[in-house]
């Protein structure tokens, strides 16, 4: 899909010259603006081999994206498909890309209830057996990538929608203990990595799930266990999303407990078909995330979008009737949200420079 000039104008002002997202984010005081990516030839990427060259050129541009995350390649299903048998091929694809293009690498995810190897869910676990499996998995995976991961999502989506613990195989056998065990083990194996709790639906300040995330982090802190950050996945909706003030409020709650937060899997889905109004809402949502992170840059370290090219998005495969959630359409034309973010970064940078000038006078 390619947008007309009138539609672009309707959804945001013209871009600031040739400025690009990571370049602007760093200038605004963040550590990075990044994009997650997956292994070529698999899953959502499989049907589009003709797009790889153009896609790779955008992804590898250091001014556009200064950070990346493997969307799938480090998950249990792929790295430990059989007990004690490890395969780092898919994780290495993204880790090597990050190293080759000088990008920050966020690693994802050591313990998660989904995309588990089948043996994890079918084994009749004793408590001791599952403890050993968790320790072995984290020790091998985090140990293999030691020194390469700036952040690790140690625990992903451990909360249910009501803010209580999700009844996963890990929780059903070990209860809350598995959470402490995961973070304790990760801290021993890779003491330099920033260790994160990562979840969706924890972006709104009054959400019961946000309250659950606060309780989970506080439990770890009270036990003296290292946790450095909270990852707000931010899988958001164009037509119903948090305000910038709400995002800032939520970040403030996490700031009381951890040293940093990040937007880790940002996308903004649209109820299809796309139209001007929906793209306007989407642009506004992306800008609110930018504003919230920059305005709390003492704790918010960066923003990662969950891939950048619409055909590679997970959204249409999981949420029927939704799509166009990223920043580049199938023909590689940009969503208006891209220019909206560029312009808002510019406004925020200008305001910072103005404040700095005032302080010097």
* Mean pLDDT, range 336-357, rounded to an integer: 92
180-207 pLDDT per residue, tens? 999 999 999 999 999 999 999 999 999 9
Top-confidence residue, 49 or 18: 49
| CA atoms of 107 and 102, how far apart (whole Å) | 15
- Judged against a pLDDT cut of 70, whether residue 15 lies above it is answered with no
Sorted by sequence, the CB contacts under 8 Å of residue 20 that are 6+ apart come out as 61, 63, 64, 342
What is the SS3 string spanning the chain?
CCCCHHHHHHHCCCCCCCCCHHHHHHHCCCCEEEECECCCCCHHHCCCHHHHHHHHHHHHCCCCCCEECECCCCCHHHHCCECCECCCHHHHHHHHHHHHCCCEEEEEEEEECCCCCHHHHHCCCCHHHHHHHHHHHHHHHHHHCCCCCCEEEEEECCECCCCCECCCHHHHHHCCHHHHHHHHHHHHHCCCCEEEEEECCCCCCCCHHHHHHHHHHHHHHHCCCCCCEEEECCEEECCECCCHHHHHHHHHHHHCCCCEEEEEEEEEEEECCCCHHHHHHHHHHHHHHHHHHHHCCCCEEEEEECCCEHHHCCHHHHCCCEECCCCECCCCCECHHHHHHHHHHHHHHHHHHHHHHHHHC
| pLDDT tens digit sequence for 138-181 | 999 999 999 999 999 999 999 999 999 999 999 999 999 999 99
Exactly one of 157, 203, 244, 260 is catalytic; name it.
157
The model's pLDDT over 97-143, given as tens digits with 9 standing for 90+, comes to 999 999 999 999 999 999 999 999 999 999 999 999 999 999 999 99
Q: What pLDDT score was predicted for residue 114?
A: 97
User: Active site residue: 64, 90, 244, 265, which one?
Assistant: 265
Per-chain mean pLDDT for the chain: 94
Mean pLDDT of 77-92: 98
pLDDT at 278: 98
**pLDDT surpassing 90 at residue 66:** yes
Taking only the tens place, the pLDDT of each residue in 289-314 is 999 999 999 999 999 999 999 999 99
% of residues, the chain, pLDDT over 70: 93
- pLDDT of 360 reads 54
**Residue 272 pLDDT greater than 90, yes or no:** yes
Mean of pLDDT values over 78-90: 98
Structure confidence at residue 267 (pLDDT): 98
Residue 220's CB is within 10 A of a number of other CB atoms, namely 23
Mean pLDDT over residues 59-70, rounded? 98
Is 177 marked active-site? no
The pLDDT of residue 289 is 98
pLDDT score recorded for residue 18: 64
Q: Catalytic residue at 157? A: yes
> What pLDDT, on the 0 to 100 scale, is given for residue 281?
98
Q: What's the confidence (pLDDT) of residue 1?
A: 39
- Whether the model clears a pTM of 0.75, i.e. scores above it, the answer is yes
Q: Taking the mean position of all CA atoms in its chain, how far away is CA 230? A: 11
């Amino acid at each position: 899909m390619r947008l007309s000039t009138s539609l672009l104008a309707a959804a945001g002002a013209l871009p600031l010259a040739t400025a690009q997202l990571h370049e602007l984010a760093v200038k605004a005081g963040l550590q990075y603006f990044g994009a997650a990516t997956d292994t070529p030839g698999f899953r959502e990427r499989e049907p589009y081999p003709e797009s790889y060259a153009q896609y790779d050129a955008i992804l590898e541009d250091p001014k556009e994206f200064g950070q990346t995350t493997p969307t799938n390649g480090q998950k249990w299903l792929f790295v430990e498909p059989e007990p004690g048998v490890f395969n780092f091929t898919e994780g290495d694809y993204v880790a090597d890309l990050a190293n080759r293009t000088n990008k920050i690498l966020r690693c994802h995810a050591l313990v998660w209830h989904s995309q588990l190897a089948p043996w994890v869910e079918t084994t009749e676990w004793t408590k001791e057996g599952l403890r050993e499996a968790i320790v072995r998995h984290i020790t091998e995976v985090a140990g293999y990538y030691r020194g390469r991961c700036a952040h690790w999502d140690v625990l992903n989506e451990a909360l249910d929608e009501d803010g209580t613990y999700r009844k996963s195989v890990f929780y059903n056998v070990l209860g809350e203990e598995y959470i402490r065990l995961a973070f304790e083990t990760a801290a021993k194996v890779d003491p330099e990595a920033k260790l994160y709790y990562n979840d969706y639906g924890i972006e709104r300040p009054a959400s019961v799930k946000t309250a659950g995330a606060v309780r989970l982090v506080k439990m770890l802190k009270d036990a003296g266990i290292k946790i450095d950050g909270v990852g707000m996945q931010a899988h958001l909706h164009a037509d119903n999303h948090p305000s910038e003030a709400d995002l800032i409020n939520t970040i403030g709650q996490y700031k009381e407990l951890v040293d940093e937060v990040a937007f880790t899997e940002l996308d903004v889905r649209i109820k299809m078909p796309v139209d001007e109004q929906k793209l306007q809402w989407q642009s506004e949502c992306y800008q609110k995330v930018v504003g919230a992170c920059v305005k709390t840059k003492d704790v918010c370290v960066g923003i990662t979008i969950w891939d950048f090219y619409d055909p590679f998005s997970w959204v249409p495969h999981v949420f029927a009737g939704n799509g166009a959630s990223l920043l580049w359409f199938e023909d590689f034309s940009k969503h208006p949200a891209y220019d909206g973010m560029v312009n808002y970064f510019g406004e925020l940078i200008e305001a910072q420079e103005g404040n700095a000038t005032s302080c010097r006078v």
